[in-house]
Structure formats: structure tokens, C-alpha cells
Amino acid sequence: MDKIQLSGAQAAIKILEKEGVEYIFGLPGGNIIPLYDALVDSDIKLIQARHEQGAIHMADGYARATGKPGVVAVTSGPAAANLITGALTAHMDAVPLVVITGQTICENLGKDAFQEADIFNISMPAVKHSYLLKDARHIPSVFTEAFTICASGRPGPVWIDLPKDVSAGSCSLPLTQIKTDIPGYKVPEKGSKEDIAAAADIINHSQKPLLLVGHGAVISQASRAVIRLAEKLQAPVVNTLLGKGVFPETHPLSCGMLGMHGTAYANKALQYTDLILAIGSRFDDRINTDPSCFCPQAKKIHIDIDPAEINKIVKIDAGIVGDARVVVEELTRHVHKLDTGKWLRRINSYKKRYPLKYSKRGGLKVQKIIDRLYHLTDGKAIIATDVGQHQMWAAQFYKIDENDTWISSGGAGTMGFGFPAALGASFGRPDKTIAAICGDGGFQMTLFELATAAYHKKPVKIIIMDNSYHGMVRQWQDLFYNNRLSGVGLHNNPDFVKLAASYGIRGFRLKRSADVDKILTKALSYDKGPCLIHAMVAKEDNVFPMIVSGKSVEHMMISRPETKLERPKGGT
């Protein structure tokens, strides 16, 4: 016989094992019990979170740190609905996840049964693909397809809604290769010869080229290819927030992050380049604050695996649809070294004139903590951030040289993401020092996962930048709304050190700038489990440089302006 008889849940677990799944992040519940029961006999480890949102952020962090799909499994109704924020986060940032939710029995679908939610339709805008399984016989092919879809092309979450009678039903699992059929799903890889030739011709006539690397280049593991191309062309390189690590930020050709809170010299390069070569970047509104003035003097080439992104936001001169690494490797063969000496000298003059800096006055600064963390870890840690001012300062002052070591919520800007994502990364990369840089607001949205961190004794370093504000919103109210503060004060923050102690977690309090190195060194050397640093930072510091939504690079603020500012149309 070439099949074995199992329950639907047992077959699902067998497929997960076949796909190399190490961990499932989640919580149990009535309609997911058959899957959890089958998990008892598996070598796959269950990481029991304290909340469904924490579970899916852990799976996300695991996926970003390892490049392998993360898996989350929870029950139906409110549990499934609690995953939507995490699914949206992964979908916007192209992170491969397999999301499994229990569901009421098929007979009760659409009848408002207990803990029923139409999660198939609720989740649809937040996933790459979704399934509602009504026949246990389809489990082997659907679960296999899910891994193919979530990790190929432009990655993303794939949702499988699994009614309880289906997971408990009978399923024949083939012992040989499982056949999948995904009509119309074709993933481009090489890029057409004509498109590559057209792009190479534009590049070879450039005098002031600029490479822009985004998250697509991270996903395709294009680091070596991008380095070879940049060095061959002698072209400076800028990166998006999620493109950190593709091109080493310590490399002489690197200008660091561009965009709303990017380095001034990266944005100056954007303003004066005659060629922007975007590799796996969406040209989103964080780097393209005014599409009518984006790279005004430049030819534009766009490499992306998703054809929908070509000409979506920026009108380009040449587009190549394909895998970033494969396309860049081929493109490099068709270009030659450019005469960029004058252009590089100009870029270096911008670096000297507009360095990243911050005032040492006014209390303990987030920038100093991050800068010292960078030096004390030799830039080798995996950094996971929450969202807000601390996220931008981390992007500015913690230089990333290695792929898959920067984890941050980009497209969705999800508060509460950083800590559980760091915890997920620690399961996938136990060899690395992992630090979660959080704001006091975002941390309190998922702080319950301290219990998960403590139980598994994961040595994650949790650094809470406590300014008692939703800092980035306060900054915008300060700059554009005459400092009319509304809804941003966090004046009832807990004592985070005592909170950590209640979970059995080591805590450190940091109040003085003079103590930064001492406290960070103690935390970095602590290896008996997680530890938390409660940093009482300056309350009303602002992030600069800054380009306001709807404004061009010409309106970049290097420091706080003296004149009243017009209210921007876009969000923070």
C-alpha cells in the first residue's frame, strides 16, 4: 500500500513534519483540539503563548530570523480574529507564515455557532492566500500547497481554516510525494533578457548612480550579489527600513537608510542622482514622500518579483520582473565600472556635513543607549524593534551588516510587535544575541509574553525606552499642532523592573547616561534567561532628520525648525 490511514489532524502534523517545521506558536481551544492532540505524538515543539497576537508575532520573528515559514495554530472565533493584526503585519512585509485556525463543524458554518467567525472572509485582505477546508481528504495537498505559496515569489501568510469535524475525520496520507496543483500560480525568477539589456544600457550611461535596496533583496538573500554590483559600478547604496543588512551599513559605499527619518546624506543622494536602481523596494510613502518630486533628475530602474509593483507608484524607465538575487547576478555581467569619482566625493561631503548626531543634554537619550548597544555587541546582535521614535533611532544608530538580523514592522507599523518577534527569533537563532528595543507604549500591548519568555528561559534582552509618551505621535503634535497634546501621555506606566520580577525575570533600572555601558554590559552577559532594562529616557526628544509626508527632500528638516510648520496630509 502507498497510503496510511490517519485522522485529518494527524495528517496535517505529518505534513508539517515533512516541511521541516520545528515549532508551532499558539494557544489551544475547543475547535483546534484534534490538531493539538496529534501534536502530542510529534517532535514538533509547541510554544504556548499567552495571547494569539503574541503567538503570530513570534512566528513572524522566527520566520524573519531564519528565512523559513513560521507556523501558528489557534482555535476559532475570537482566537482567530486576534491573529488578524499579525497576519496584516506579515502580509505587508512579505513574511512567510502558515496560519492554522480551528473552526466549528461544517454543519454549523454560517449558523452563528459558538465561537464561529467567518475568518475565511475576514482574513482575506490580510493574507496571500486562504483555505476553508471541508474535506479531510484535501488536507495533504492543501497543507503542502500552503508551504509552497507562503514561501515562494513574494512571500506572505497563508491561512488554513480547519473545521473540527474535518480535523477529526479520516484521511489517507500518501507515502510518496504529494501532488499539488495550483492553477495560474507561476513565480518569475530570471527576468527577461530584453529587460536586463535595457536596464544595463541605462546603467552604463550613468554618471551618478544610486542603488536602493529593499526587503525583497533581504528575502532573496541577494546580499553578495548586491555587494558585487555596487563595487563593480562604484555606486553608493541606500536601503529602506526593512532593507537593512542586505548591503553592509559599515561599507564605505553605504549611505544607510533613506526616507522620512533616513540619513540626510542618503536623502541628498536621492535628490541629485541621475539613476536610481531599486532592488526589491516598493517605492512606498515612507521613502517616497512626494511622488512628483522623487529622484527628479534620475532615470528609474525597478527590479521586483511582483509584477504588480512595477509602475504602481513611480513611473519607471526599465523594469525587470524576477528574483532579486538572480536578476542582480545576471545584470552585473552586463554592466561595467562607471566613472563615479566626482559623485562619490560629493556623497562623502554630505556625510561629513550632515552626520547623524544628537544632543547630549536633556537627560538620558535613546540614541546613546542604541549607539552603545551597537558598539558593545560589535553590531552582531539580532535587533527586533517595536514602532515609533525608538524604531527610527534604532534604524539610524544600529548599523546592520548581516542579512536577517534586523526585524521590524514596516508596512503595518504594528505596536506590540517587537518583543514577541524577538522571542520568536530566539527560538530560530539560539546562537545569536537578541535584543528587543521597545517603547513603553508598544511594550504594554504584548507584555504578557514575559510569561512565555520566562518559561522557556530565552536570553532575550528587552530594552524599554520609557518616555511616558506615545513618542512619535507626540512629536507630530509638537511640530504640527502647536504642541496641543491629546491622548499621548502614558503617566501610569508600571515599574517595569518590578513587573519583570513578578515573572521571575532579571531587571535593571537605567536612569543616568553615565550608567549606560555598565547596565548594558550586565544585561548582555546575563545568560540564565530573559532580562529587562527599564530606561527612563528624555521625555520630549524628537527624531531628526525628518521629511514630512507630502514634502520633497528639499524640505528635509535636519533639526527642529524655528518657524511654524504646515500640517501634513499623511500619517506618522
Q: Considering the candidates 164, 208, 268, 458, report the single residue annotated as catalytic.
A: 164
Residue 308 has a CB neighbour count (10 Å cut-off) of 10
Neighbours of 21 (CB within 10 A): 20
Strands 209-213 and 237-239: parallel
48 is catalytic: no
Among 257, 392, 465, 472, the active-site one is 472
Residue 557: active-site member = no
DSSP element (H, E) containing 425: helix 418-428
Of 115, 329, 522, 540, which residue is the catalytic one?
A: 115
Catalytic residue (choose from 14, 25, 52, 300): 52
Tell me if residue 52 is catalytic.
yes
User: Among residues 306, 288, 282, which one has the least CA distance to residue 214?
Assistant: 282
Name which of 512, 472, 508, 540 is nearest 364 in CA terms.
512
In this structure, what DSSP letter does residue 163 have? E
Extract long-range pairs of 87-90: CB within 8 Å, 24+ residues apart: 87/56, 87/123, 87/126, 87/127, 87/157, 87/159, 88/126, 88/412, 88/414, 89/56, 89/57, 89/60, 89/409, 89/411, 89/412, 89/414, 89/417, 90/56, 90/60, 90/63, 90/156, 90/157
Q: Is there a contact between 325 and 222 (Cβ–Cβ < 8 Å)?
A: yes
| All cell numbers assigned to 294 | 522623487
DSSP string, 540-563: T----SB--TT--GGG-BSS--SS
Cα 157 from Cα 146, distance rounded (Å): 9
Query: Given 114, 194, 297, 360, which residue is catalytic?
Result: 114
Distance CA(29)–CA(74), nearest Å, equals 7
For this structure, is 472 an active site residue?
yes
Residue 96 corresponds to which amino acid? P
Question: 337 is written with which cell numbers?
Answer: 565600472
Tell me if residue 124 is catalytic: no
What string of DSSP letters covers 172-239?
Answer: EEESSPPP---TT-----S--HHHHHHHHHHHHT-SSEEEEE-HHHHHTT-HHHHHHHHHHHT--EEE
Cell triple for 538: 528624555
Q: How many of the other CB atoms lie within 10 Å of CB of 110?
A: 10
Instruction: Give dist(CA 501, CA 522) in Å, integer.
Output: 16
3-state SS of 43-103 is CCEEEECCCHHHHHHHHHHHHHHHCCCEEEEECCCHHHHCCHHHHHHHHHCCCCEEEEEEE
Phi, psi for 45 (deg, rounded to 5): -90, 135
Q: Are 227 and 252 in contact (CB under 8 A)?
A: no
Terminal-residue alpha carbon distance, the chain? 61
Q: Helix (H, G, I), strand (E, B), or coil: what is residue 421?
A: helix
Q: Which residues are catalytic?
A: 52, 114-115, 164, 472
